[in-house]
Amino acid sequence: MTKESSLLKPQNSTPKFSQNFRQQVGNQTTPLLEQFEELALSLAARSPEEIIWQPPENLQELLDHYLDTLSIVYLKKYAVFSQCLIQVLNEENYLLYGLIGRAIIEHTAILRYYVTSKMLPLAQEVVADGIVTESEIEELIQWLDKHLTGRRFDWNNFLADHFQQIEGLKPESVVQPAQVNILTCLEKWGREDQSIIRLYELFCDLVHPNLGSTLLITRVLDNQLIVGGERGKPLGQEIFNRTFGELLELFQEVREQLIQLQSLKFGEILRLKP
């Protein structure tokens, strides 16, 4: 395994909510903006290490390699989500707010499903007798591989010629497992917290060609609805005020899940023994 550390420090270019946007949102939402800016800055500061994908043959090292790679994937994606969210809100582009919000929900649900519903229970079962066998590590790695490379599209065929140019990469070994259905993840989560189902249904309507996405390009002027144009107050602003706090809570959920993910490292896994 070749690993290159390059932690990025917070950059002055890390976006912040504009003064104009701050003045437009509700008073209850304003403190959340500051929390989200701190979150975006923190994610930028922890911008992922670079890991060259060269899976080691040693099973213990391979387990840790998968865990490190998955952590980096999520840290990088959520850093991008947070920065893009600030940018589109400053532009009053609530249509993209809906798209990013749904992506955040889906990524969080997938991460939570694999860690909470699959990996942790399996790891606790593995260490119950105080011994971790090779076959048990292989089973953990199979779930990590499915989490990392699961797909619903044939990327092998789409990028076959490009994969052939990458040193040490076998196209036929790339992204084979089918990814778990997002509804399966949400249904599992929803048994513990029904509000996540409602939130997802809301953001799906903001993305699909339904009333929700139309409302995001609708404005209110003189107590009348105006579709399109630039005049009046965006109706999307009210939708934002009513949903932003719940999106912010998802970032805390991701933080907790990533901490648990790292507890699966070979040097730490025995501490999971009940």
Is residue 140 over pLDDT 80? yes
d(CA 185, CA 168): 34
Is residue 2 over pLDDT 60? no
Reduce the DSSP state of residue 165 to 3 states and report it. coil
**Residue 128: predicted pLDDT:** 77
Of the two residues 125 and 211, the one the predictor is more confident about is 211
Question: Which residues does 20 contact at the CB level (< 8 Å), separation at least 6?
Answer: 90
Q: Delimit the domains of the chain by residue range.
A: 9-272
Lowest mean pLDDT among 32-41, 131-140, 143-152: 131-140
User: Across the chain, what does the average pLDDT equal?
Assistant: 86
With pLDDT > 70 as the criterion, what percentage of the chain qualifies?
A: 88
d(CA 160, CA 157): 5
Per-residue pLDDT band at 4 (split at 50, 70, 90):
very low
Is residue 205 over pLDDT 70? yes
d(CA 215, CA 237): 10
CA dihedral 75, 81, 87, 93 (to 10 degrees): 180
